[in-house]
Structures are given as C-alpha cells and as structure tokens.
A and B are shown apart, each in its own frame.
Chain A
Amino acid sequence: MNGATGLGELVRLAARRSRWFYLAWVLALTLVVPATAAAYEQIIDPANADLLITTMTGIMGVLGIVRSTRAQEEDGRIELLRSGAVARHVPLVAGLVVGLAACAALGVLVAVAMIVVGAPAAGSVAFGGGLALVGATFLGIGAVAAQLTASARTANALGLWTLAAAYTLRAVADGSGEGATARLAWASPVQWMALARPYADERWWVLALPAAATLLLVVGAVALEAGRDHGAGLWAARRGRATAPERLRDASGLAWRLHRGQVVGWSIGMLLFALAMGSLSTSFGEMLEEVPQLRIIFERMGGGAERLVEAFFVAMLSIVSVVMAVLAVSLFGRLREQEERGHAELVLSTALSRRRLLGSHLAIAALVPVLLLAVVGAVLALNQSRSVGDWSIVAETAGAALALAPGGLVALGIAVLVHGWAPRLGWVAWVVVGWSLFMAWVGTALDLPEWLTRLTPWAALPQLPVEGMDWTAVLVTLAVAVLLVAAGAVGYRRRDITGL
C-alpha cells in the first residue's frame, strides 16, 4: 500500500458528490464575469470591477474543500472509506484534486468568455488564470482550516473570516492611495489577480504568488493531517456548560442560539460594507463628473436620479436589499436543516407545536434582514450627512432602505410556501433571489429592458428618494409576503415530518 492507494476511486467519488456544487458556482461566475466586464468595459478596467468575482471564487474554494473533507469526516463517511484500502491523505488529496480541477475549469471558461466578448487575449488569460489561482489559494486555506477544527461549520467560518480579512486588507490599501499602506494590498490574496494587471501590461510573475501560496497551504494541510487523529481537529473540542442558560427555554431561545453566529457574522460584514461604501459616497460625485459613461450607468441604476449621490444610494440599496433577501432565505433554510438532521423530530416530540417551531425560525429570518437593511441604509448615509451637515439624510436613507424590505419578505414568503408544501423544491426560493441579485447587479448596467430587470419581487417598490413614496405598492407587496407565509404555514401543519 503506497501513499496514493485508492486515489482514483476517491477522486471519482469526490467528483460525483461535488459535481453540482462546482458546476453551479463555475457557471454562475462565468456568466457574471463577461456581463460585468461588458457593462463597465469602457469606463473601468475589468480587473478593478472584479473584486466581487475573486471574493466569490474564494468562497467557492473554502466551501468546496470543507464540504468534501471535514464535513464528510464529521458525518462519519470518511471513517468507512479509511477502513478500506485507502492511504491516509488520499481523502484530502482527492478533495483537492476535484477542487483544483473546478478552479482550472473556471479559469479556462472565464478566459474564453472574455475573449468572446472581445477583450484582448493576453489579458483574458491573465484574468482567467489569476482567478483560478486565487480560487486555488482559498482551497488551500480551507484545507488547512479543515485540519484545525473537528467541525465543518467552524472550518467554514475560519476560511471565510480569512477571506473577509483579505478583503478588508485590500479595502484599507485601496483607501490609502499611495505609500506604505498601499503595499498592504500585496498581502491580500483577493488582490493578487488584480496585481497581475490583466489588460494593462500584464505582470505575469505576480501569478507565481498564488501558485506558491497554494503549494505551501496544501503541503501544510497534509502535514497537519499527518499529526492528528481521525475525526479530531488540532484544536481540542471545548467543554461547555453543564446546564442550559435561562434563555434556552423555548423554541425562540433555541432558534436564536442556532442562528446567532450567522447573524453576528453577517451584521459585521454588512456594517463594514456600509461604512466603506458610505466613505466612497462623498468623493464619488467628483469621480463621476469626470467619467460621463459611468455617470450614465449610475443614473440608470439609480432610477434616473438627478443628484449622483442619490443615484449612488439608490443603486447600493437596491443591491443590498436583495443581498438581505439572500440572508433571509438562508436563515429560514435552517429549519430545513433541522428536519434533515433529525433535530426537528426531537423538539416536536415535546410540547412544542409546529406553528411555534416554524415561527421561531421565521421571526429571525424576517426581522434580522429588515433591521440590518435599515441600519445599512443609515450607515451608508452617515458620511454624506456629516459633510453636508444635514442629519435628516440618515433617516431618509434608512427609510428608503425599509421601503425595499417587502421585496425580500416576498422572497422569504416563497421559501416558506415551498417548505410548507413541497420541501423538495427548496431551490425555488434560491432561483428567485439569484435572479433578482443578477438583475440588481448587472441588469440595469447592461441596459436590459426594464420589464425584464423588474421581473422580481421588488418590481413595484418605490426607489426613494428618486421616486416618491408609494404606500400602495409597499403595502401590497407586504400583503403578498404575508399571504405566502400564511399559505406556507398551513402546508407545514399538514405535511409529514419525515427527516426528508
């Protein structure tokens, strides 16, 4: 038995288990890249527009490797494989092989797509290659995280926090212009692709950075794996309290406990985003005055605002409100997970009613994103208010954000309806928010017909302050959301809880 025994079989198994995951990510990213690039083509060089893309690729890398290594180990599947003729590091290496193949496919597809939309070939290769290598780096980061902790959730969190740190590093470096702080960008993996300057006199050697980092991380992960027991992490599992705190006494106490981490993580992330975007807003006007095409795009995204700052706020809020719908659907998805894992069976065998169980997750999934949306609106406007000296802008922007909230609640309502009647169709709500996100992000910039870009739950809602407040539209959208939730709740009380 040598070090590669069983590699072929396990690579096939990993590919089979992860094919839809990677396929969805790679296709989505491949579609978004040229669309964004075409939209911004003449104005911004594509590398700058694509921090989003590198970040998404990083997320794919972390989630991809953790789901095919630590998550499998935690569920006890790798134990069975290891009892067969499989060398020690083969499960990890098989996951890496499949993940690297997905990154490579992404790189090739993006490069080809860019060339097809008319970008220079050399730049497109640097762009696709850079993207693939950044993905590979985060695959490596995820692989190391998967060795440190025994829980897949913690491993995911570790990887994603590293990604967030890299993102923040790049934001700090960007904001500081020139000098020593600007050089910090070199320490941020999400920036490496842009530092290779695709389409602008490519610096090919920069791509050696992510390649070397990937190699180091993979070697590191294998070395760490050699030093731990199966099923264990390098960090010992912590002990907890012997009795439950007073708060953990009913369905809402349990739901909050289960959602807490995700809620805190998202809140910090969204606040940072709002602060960063808010600080941009004041300098934004001057920047846009110089670039007429970008001004046109933002006016379009901003619902035709006269003042560019308003257009900027409207554009940001229309995206953030859809991102909050993503959060809402994801939070509500916890209920499905509770059923799949058998936790729901346990709590429903107590005096807890289905209505309360549903309500406990629904309340968090509805309230947290709406609150967060209002806070993001307020924080976004802080800088502008300070520079103008008019604090009423803060309340107005928060109000504008809230006027968009019913759209996200409709998306949540669809998730509840589907879960109540046909839990197998859980992906439907994700299609709705995915489509809405795509339309909010690039639909307007691409100048797609308005009936198409407005084919979302947000269609009727007013874009304040560019448009006037339309109470009818807001209340009708809200009523639709309430009806969807109510219909879903009826179904949930009637169907079998089978553990799916």
Chain B
Amino acid sequence: MDAIELVEVTKRFGATTALDQLTMSVAHGEVHGFLGPNGSGKSTTIRLLLGLLRADSGTVRMLGGDPWGEAPTLHRRLAYVPGDVALWPGLTGGEVIDLLGRLRGGIDTTRRAQLLERFDLDPTKKGTTYSKGNRQKVALVAALASDVELLLLDEPTSGLDPLMEAQFRAVISGERDRGRTVLLSSHILSEVEHLCDRVSIIRAGQIVESGTLAELRHLTRTSVVAELAAPVPEALASAPGVHDAQIEGHRLTCQVDDTELGPVMSRLSALGIRAITSTPPTLEELFLRHYDESA
C-alpha cells in the first residue's frame, strides 16, 4: 500500500476545475518531488490530502485512511508546512512551534533545540516581525521536531537563503534515511534533483509525467556537439531521432532522442569522431517543455 494514493480525483471551485481526473501515488519511504507551474493544482492536491477540501469525485487515500473522514487521526502521523506560513501576530515563534507540536500529539524538545540552532532561528520574536523565510523556518522546525511518518511540504524553501536551503536539504536527507515519506512541492529544480527519488509533474490539474529522474530523462533529448574527421553528410540532419541539426563543415550541433542515441553514435563514429560533447537534459529543460505547453 502506498503512502499517498490519488485516483482520478476531480476538484472544482465553482466554474474552474482545479484538479481534473488527477492520478498519482507516493510510495512509503520515498521523497517525492511535486512539480508544476503556478496555479496548476499543487496546493489544492495537498489541501485535499489534509482533508481541508473535499474531492468532487475520485479516491483519495493517505497512510491507509480517508483524509476527509479521518483527518484528525491521520494528522497525528503527518506534518505540514504551507507555502505561505501565517503566524499569529501575538504569539512568538517558539510558542507556535510548541503549540503545533502539542496539537500533533507531542514534540521532541531535544530535536526542537537542534533544529532551532541548525536553522539559526530566534524563537522569541512575535509572529508578524519575522521575515517570510523565518516564518517558514518556524513551520519547518515545528514539522520536523514531531515524530511523524509523512511530511507534506508545499514550497518550503521559497523564502530561504542558499545557506538555509543547504541545511534544509541535509535535514530532509536525514529524514529519508530514517524512513520517512516526504511529498515536496517545489520550484527549485536543483533541490528536487538532489533530494527526490521520484517526481510527478502536474499541469492544469493533471499529472503529465511521473517517475524517477532517470526515467523522465529518457523521454527527452541529449544535445550533441561533434567535431568529425570528414565533412558531415547532409543526410544526417534527417536521420531518425535527430532534431534541430546545424551543420558547418566538419561540425555538427543537434538534439538527439535518447532512444536513438545509439544508432546516431554509430553513424558518427563511422565518420571518425575528433571531439564530442554530449549534455544530458537538465530537469530545467524537462520542465520548460511541460510548462511551455501550458502557455
């Protein structure tokens, strides 16, 4: 049984359809990256998992239960960090951390102290006087100091500086090693590349890609720049799997479908390769391809 399972879930707000037959799953113990442009339905999905919203149709299962009907019981086993953390004006960061921890059913004070130090957070300031990044740290410390199975993180590092982001990565790696499941929605691709075992890409309320990073890369093209011993034959530009070819005498620049990489390489080595660079697709290119289609 997966930690999170959504099957053909639809959620409408009036006339707009936020989630359209969305299907995705997150296995126990994996760090799952959740990517998508703004307004594509990431936060709606997470709010469905929290039982804040009710699906119009489809099945939502989380930690073996129904998030809508059994919300309080399931919530003992998870912690959530919203993208925009709203702290109470009259409560200090420390008070919020303790309150949220107690509401979840307990807080590990040693770990709380470690995390405060690690994230360099002053717990004595009042809610409204924290910056966006520090408000996120308050929610992060509260979430990580509780002993839970599942972490739901909605763009948790969007306000953190690079130093804190590195701390965040280290902490999440530690959580994975301890066997926790993490659903991490993010825009920061390097973060996802570093941390995530699997990735789901959402666009307009539907999952358009899902799999390990290696699997997703297979769907894309490698850019190849080759310097050959002989002039490049024109026919190569129209070979199967070759795109955007530019030929200047002995030099070839092109994109190659990963599935056709082998045959193309054989043809090039038959012509004699003097120099070659091949760049694997970055997640960013993967992304832009999907994001662009939504435009």
Contact = CB atoms under 8 A, between A and B. Distances in A.
- Do A and B pair up? The answer is yes
Interface of A: 74, 150-151, 153, 237-245, 248-251, 253-254, 257-258, 261, 341-343, 345-354, 494, 496-498
30 contacts: A150-B128, A151-B128, A153-B89, A237-B128, A239-B125, A240-B92, A240-B125, A242-B92, A242-B124, A244-B97, A244-B98, A248-B102, A249-B102, A250-B102, A251-B103, A257-B90, A258-B88, A258-B90, A345-B86, A346-B86, A346-B139, A347-B103, A348-B51, A351-B73, A353-B71, A494-B54, A496-B52, A497-B53, A498-B52, A498-B53
A239 B13 CA distance: 41
Q: Which of A346, A349, A497 has the most CB of B within 10 A?
A: A349
Given A248-B98, A257-B90, A346-B82, A352 B129 contact: no
Nearest to A232: B129
B194 to A, nearest CB: 26
Interface in B56-107: 71-73, 75-76, 78-80, 82, 84-86, 88-92, 94-100, 102-105
A497 B129 contact: no
3 interchain residue pairs of minimum CB distance: A244-B98, A342-B86, A240-B92
B126 interface: yes
B53 A239 contact: no
Contacts of B72: 351-353
Nearest to B109: A243
Q: Is chain B's interface secondary structure helix, strand, loop, or mixed overall?
A: mixed
A345 B91 contact: no
A63 B273 CA distance: 78
B43 to A, nearest CB: 10
Contact of A151 (B89, B97, B98, B104): B89
B123 A243 contact: yes
Contacts of B75: 349-352
B98 A346 contact: no
Contacts of A354: 71
Contacts of A497: 47, 52-53
A239 B86 CA distance: 19
A253 B100 CA distance: 12
A351 B129 contact: no
Contacts of A253: 99
Nearest to A75: B128
B50 interface: yes
Contacts of A498: 13, 52-53
A258 B86 CA distance: 14
A497 B139 CA distance: 19
Q: Which of A240, A249, A494 has the most CB of B within 10 A?
A: A240
B155 to A, nearest CB: 14
Contacts of B92: 239-242
A382 to B, nearest CB: 35
A343 B85 CA distance: 8
Contacts of B139: 346
Interface residues of B, number: 43
Contact of B91 (A257, A350, A353): A257
B88 A348 contact: no
Interface string B116-145: 000000011110110000000001000000
Contacts of A241: 92, 94-95, 124
Contacts of B51: 348
Nearest to A253: B99
A249 B129 contact: no
Interface string B27-52: 00000000000000000000100111
B95 A248 contact: yes
A344 B147 CA distance: 22
Q: Which of B50, B82, B98 has the most CB of A within 10 A?
A: B98
A285 to B, nearest CB: 46
Given A240-B126, A245-B95, 15 more contacts: A240-B94, A240-B124, A242-B94, A243-B94, A244-B96, A248-B102, A254-B99, A257-B90, A342-B84, A345-B82, A346-B139, A349-B80, A349-B152, A497-B53, A498-B52
Nearest to A352: B103
Nearest to A355: B72
Contacts of A342: 82, 84-86
Contact of A343 (B78, B86, B152): B86
Given A248-B98, A497-B52, A351 B103 contact: yes
A343 B95 contact: no
A22 to B, nearest CB: 25
A161 B129 CA distance: 24
Contacts of A258: 88, 90
A468 to B, nearest CB: 47
B94 A348 contact: no
A244 B102 contact: yes
Contacts of B96: 244
B91 A349 contact: no
A229 B100 CA distance: 33
Contacts of A347: 100, 103
Given A240-B124, A240-B126, A351 B104 contact: yes
A258 to B, nearest CB: 7
Contacts of A351: 72-73, 75-76, 103-105
A242 B125 CA distance: 8
B50 A349 contact: yes
A74 B126 CA distance: 13
Contact of A348 (B50, B99, B129): B50
Nearest to B97: A244
A254 B91 CA distance: 10
Nearest to B116: A242
Nearest to B146: A350
Interface in B138-197: 139, 152
A286 B129 CA distance: 57
A250 B89 CA distance: 18
Given A241-B95, A497-B52, A350 B103 contact: yes
Q: Which of B79, B84, B99 has the most CB of A within 10 A?
A: B99
B106 to A, nearest CB: 10
Nearest to B78: A349
B100 to A, nearest CB: 6
Contacts of B152: 349
B281 to A, nearest CB: 36
Contacts of B129: 150, 237
